[in-house]
């Protein structure tokens, strides 16, 4: 049996089996996306055009919690992704440190050369 999956800005919802799919689609199609904002202590709701809504039919058997193996694999993939991201940040910072160290070395050399070139002024 197929169920309707509704995606609204990367949030997913599955309609219950007893739901009237055409009525749900008609209702969702009339929704006005808004962004909540606070101004001067008051909440306002501004139209938001960056909302995406999509529909898909999925197999009802896909609606279940992950198996322990699937959950473990997801944790491993999430950790690998986080590790890769953080390694990239470390590499960027290391590169920036090396660049700054070169600048410091250059300024130190220039400063030492300036001191060597100074002539003593008689009193």
Split into its structural domains, the chain has a count of 2
Q: In angstroms, rounded to a whole number, what is the distance separating the alpha carbons of residues 6 and 25? A: 9
48 and 14: one domain?
Answer: yes
The continuous run of DSSP H or E covering 20 comes out as none
Per the listing, tokens 């910072």 go with 93
Instruction: Give residue 102's domain range.
Output: 65-115
Establish if 120 belongs to a structural domain.
no
Neighbours of 4 (CB within 10 A): 19
- Position 34 scores a pLDDT of 85
Neighbours of 7 (CB within 10 A): 13
Q: In angstroms, rounded to a whole number, what is the distance separating the alpha carbons of residues 120 and 123? A: 9
Q: Render pLDDT for 66-100 as a digit per residue (tens, 0 to 9).
A: 999 999 999 999 999 999 999 999 999 999 999 99
| Final residue in a domain of this structure, among 64, 80, 107 | 64
- Position 69 scores a pLDDT of 97
Establish if 53 belongs to a structural domain.
yes
55 and 98: one domain?
Answer: no
Per-block mean pLDDT, blocks of 10 residues, the chain (123 long): 84 86 83 87 88 85 93 96 96 96 89 66 55
79 and 41: one domain?
Answer: no
pTM to 2 decimal places:
0.49
- Position 48 scores a pLDDT of 81
Establish if 122 belongs to a structural domain.
no
- Position 83 scores a pLDDT of 97
HSE of 103, CA atoms in CB hemisphere, 13 A: 6
């Amino acid at each position: 049996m197929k169920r309707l999956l509704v995606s609204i800005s990367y949030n997913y919802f599955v309609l219950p089996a007893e739901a009237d799919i055409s009525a749900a689609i008609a209702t969702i199609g009339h929704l006005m996306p808004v962004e909540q904002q606070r101004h001067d202590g008051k909440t306002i709701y501004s139209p938001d055009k960056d909302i995406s809504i999509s529909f898909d039919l999925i197999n009802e058997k896909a609606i279940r919690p992950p198996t322990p193996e699937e959950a473990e694999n997801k944790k491993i993939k999430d950790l690998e992704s986080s590790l890769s991201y953080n390694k990239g940040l470390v590499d960027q910072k290391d590169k920036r440190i090396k660049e700054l160290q070169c600048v410091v070395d250059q300024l130190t050399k220039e400063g030492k050369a300036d001191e060597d070139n100074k002539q003593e002024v008689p009193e």
